[in-house]
Structures are given as C-alpha cells and as structure tokens.
Structure 1
Amino acid sequence: MPTKDLQQSRAILAETLFGDDALLRLQGESEPDDSIRIRTTLHSDPIAITGITVMCPHCGARRDWLVICDVLGRIFLRCRCAHQWHEPELTRADFNAMVGEGGQKYPSLEALARDTGHDGTLAGAYFPDKAITS
C-alpha cells in the first residue's frame, strides 16, 4: 500500500485578509507592556484583619479606603489624608473579594487619588453609605 494513501488530507484554511491578523489586533487593543499595572478599588466599610479594625496611623480614620493591588500582589491601603502603606496581612484573594465590577481607567494613581478624594483634600471627611432623605 503506498504511503500517500495513508496520509489524511489537511483542511486548507482561507487566507486572512491583509490587516486582519487577530494577534496583531489583540496587541494593538491591549495596554503597552511597559505600563505600570495596578488595580484599585474603593472600600467604604471598615477593614478588619484578624479581628482588629485597620486604622490610619496618621489621622485615625477607620473606613473609606482606596485599596491598591500591584503586579506582585501586594496590597496597599490609602486613606483620605493621602497616607498610604503596604498591608502585608492582606492578600490578592482579599483584594479580589473587595473589588467590584467595571470601573474607570485613570492615567495614574495620582489622578485616581485626586478624583476620589484620597489626595488629602478630603482628609477627615466621611460620607454616609446611603443617601439620607428627610
């Protein structure tokens, strides 16, 4: 039996149109590799670690946090007084439990802090969780 009869025929795929390369399109739509990749979320409730409520060492705040997760999975907390610190007891899993859906992209962490009031301008200010109606 000749070997050419044993080979299965291969399907011939249609050529992609010029400029319709899916990989190049994906690379063009994604962020550049040299960008700093961090994820953030706002967390208005108090955060308790091993039963102890986290408190800002500068102003004493106990809620309204900006929670930051960097590429290495380290978690940072930022208070409205603009004090920010690494919280080694929190993990990426803790961050994922806090993060919501969607969100807005910001060009930098400083722009995010400014727009959310975590740059020091709203230090000591607390906002009600639900709108108060009279």
Structure 2
Amino acid sequence: MFGRKRAIQELHDIQQTTWEWLQAHPDLPLQTPTADSPSAGTVTAPVAEVDDFLPPDLRVPSREEITGMMMPYDKPLVIDGEVQSCPQCGAYRDWVLLSVRDEVWLRCRASHETPEPRLDAAWYNRNSGPMDRWHPTLEDGLKHLGH
C-alpha cells in the first residue's frame, strides 16, 4: 500500500547486494579480533544473557533481513561503571554504535572501530530508537550521521 511493496523490494535488493559484498570481503575491519591483534589478549568477563524484552515486531531483524544497523551516541558511553574511550585516540563521546553480525562495535569521530564485547543485540535494542532510513552502504549511513 502506498508503494510499500516497491520499497520493501528495493530494501531487500540493497540488503542482498550488501550481504554478497560482505561475503566477498571477509577481511573488513568489522571482524572479530584474531590472536595476533592488539585487543585479543585482553580478558573480559562473560556477558550474562539477557532476554530481549521487546515484542517480536520491534526487535532487531535477523541477519537475512538486514546486514547491520547503526545509531549515533553523542554522550559518553558508560559500561560497567566506567566511561568507554577509544583505544587509539582517547575520544570518549560522539560515537556511532554499529550492530553487525550479533556484535556491537564502537566507531569514534576519527573513524577508529573497536568491538565492545560487553554490549550485545539486546542492549542495542533497548537503547536504539526507531530506524528512520535505510542506507545501501556503511559510508552512506556514516555520511547521514555526520561522521
């Protein structure tokens, strides 16, 4: 109704193209750290599983439906009582939070990307607002958010 089928088909086409591109480029920086990466030696406490309290129609779509989501987070990010800062440049606010492949990544204004194992999809669902736009690429989404 009102072009919804066309919009849904365009979205699925964009998602399929993005998914194929991600599969063809497994060396993207949005990967789990390897044993030789600087952050791989850090030990983190296991994250308790939290049941997603949102109703099914408001939850983050599955991987087949969408590749990833992002949201701005302008204030300091406090996790377990400490302010999270970028390990490369020390920035502690004005983040873009990326929810990709069941992981949450932090991206500072200087384009440094850091995985945050203490955050999960349930946390992202509780803290993100409604999605207002679809972007075919990560760069388009970042441009929309002013990063």
Q: By how many angstroms is 1:79 displaced?
A: 0.4
Equivalent pair of 1:44/1:64 in contact (CA under 8 Å)? yes
Q: By how many angstroms is 1:25 displaced?
A: 8.0
Q: Percent same amino acid among aligned pairs?
A: 31
Which residues of 2 match residues 16-35 of structure 1 at below 5 A? 28=9, 30-32=11-13, 34=16, 35=18
Matched, 1:97 2:126: yes
Q: By how many angstroms is 1:110 displaced?
A: 1.4
Inter-partner Cα distance in structure 2 for 1:106 and 1:115 = 9
Which residues of 2 match residues 67-78 of structure 1 at below 5 A? 67-70=97-100, 72-78=101-107
In structure 1, the residue matched to 2:114 is 85
Seen in structure 2, the aligned counterparts of structure 1 residues 26 and 110 have a Cα distance that, compared at 3 Å, is closer
Seen in structure 2, the aligned counterparts of structure 1 residues 89 and 42 have a Cα distance that, compared at 3 Å, is same
Matched, 1:51 2:81: yes
Seen in structure 2, the aligned counterparts of structure 1 residues 29 and 99 have a Cα distance that, compared at 3 Å, is same
Q: TM-score, normalised by structure 1?
A: 0.60
Superposition RMSD on alpha carbons, in Å? Answer: 2.4
Which stretches in structure 1 are left out of the alignment for 5+ residues? 1-23, 119-134
Which stretches in structure 2 are left out of the alignment for 5+ residues? 20-66
Q: How many residues align?
A: 94
Give the alignment partner of residue 108 of structure 1, picking from 127, 131, 137.
137
Q: TM-score, normalised by structure 2?
A: 0.55
Letter of the 1:79 partner, please give it: C
Runs (4+) of structure 1 moved beyond 6 Å? 24-27
Instruction: From the CA coordinates, give the structure whose radius of gyration is larger.
Output: 1
Q: By how many angstroms is 1:107 displaced?
A: 1.9
Between Structure 1 and Structure 2, the one with more helix by share is 2
The answer to which structure, 1 or 2, has the higher relative contact order (CA under 8 A, 6+ apart) is 2
